Every structure is written in C-alpha cells, then in structure tokens.
Amino acid sequence: MAARAYWQGQIRLALVSIPVEIYSATKSGARISFNQIHEPSGKRISYEKVVPGIGPVDRDDIIKG
C-alpha cells in the first residue's frame, strides 16, 4: 500500500509556488545512538553511571534536571 500524505499544500515565494506534502513517520520511537571509539584500538568506550555512596544507577532512574 502506497503512503498517503498527511497534509498537502503549497509554499508561495513571490511568483513561485512549491508543492509540499507531509507524511507520517514510518517508524515511531526510532532512536539514533552514537558510540565513542578508542582510536588506537578501535574498541567502543563504555561509561558506567554511578552515584557516590549508592553505586551503579539504571538508565531508567536518570532524569534531566
């Protein structure tokens, strides 16, 4: 089944009209992640999140503040 545009319209710049179509995302919740690499060895660098006096912390327990 072909994707259908969620919205169709035009952007007008003086005498030029550009057709525009907006489509919904094909994947919801897609996540991009990047890794840091140790250049001499080519191995991935990993970081452990730790709270002083408590120890390691799960990723789900971390909030922004």
Specify the pTM. Answer: 0.35
Type of residue numbered 35: N
pLDDT top residue among 46 and 51: 51
Look at residue 3 in the predicted model and tell me its pLDDT: 78
Rg (CA), the chain: 23
Per-residue model confidence (pLDDT) at position 1: 64
Distance of CA 60 to the CA centre of its chain: 18
Name the band, by pLDDT with cuts 50, 70 and 90, for residue 65. Answer: confident
Q: Which residues touch 5 (CB under 8 Å, ≥6 apart)?
A: 21, 22, 23
pLDDT at residue 8 is higher than 90? yes
pLDDT greater than 90 at residue 17? yes
3-class secondary-structure state, position 43: strand
